[in-house]
Structure formats: structure tokens, C-alpha cells
């Protein structure tokens, strides 16, 4: 799932996710949804 997320953001390296605030917001949203899925299983 992480690789798919990185592809959606057009990031080649993990450090690029943290390069701007918009990516960080997308990351927080993705992690929140991912956490809810894991919590329910």
C-alpha cells in the first residue's frame, strides 16, 4: 500500500513525501484511513 501511495503522490523517495505541506496532509489522511482499517480487523 505504501508503494501505491508514493506513486499517487509522484514521489520517488520517501524524503519527497515530507518536502511540502500538501504531501504531509495526504500522508496524515492516508495513515488515518489505514489505521481505521487495521483496527477493524
Q: Give CA separation, 22 vs 16, 38, 41, in Å.
A: 11, 24, 29
The model's confidence at residue 28, banded by pLDDT at 50, 70 and 90, is very high
**The pLDDT of residue 7 is above 90:** yes
pLDDT number for residue 40:
66
| Buried residues in 12-23 as b, exposed as e (16+ CB within 10 A) | eeeeebeeeeeb
The model's confidence at residue 41, banded by pLDDT at 50, 70 and 90, is low
Give the Cα separation of 21 and 1 in Å (integer).
21
SS3 assignment, position 41: coil
| pLDDT tens digits along 13-27 | 999 999 999 999 999
Indicate the pTM of the whole model: 0.75
**The pLDDT of residue 34 is above 80:** yes
Give the Cα separation of 10 and 16 in Å (integer).
9
Amino acid at each position: 500500500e505504501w508503494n501505491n501511495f508514493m506513486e499517487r503522490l509522484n514521489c520517488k523517495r520517501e524524503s519527497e513525501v515530507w518536502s511540502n505541506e500538501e504531501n504531509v496532509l495526504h500522508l496524515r489522511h492516508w495513515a488515518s484511513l489505514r489505521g481505521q482499517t487495521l483496527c477493524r480487523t
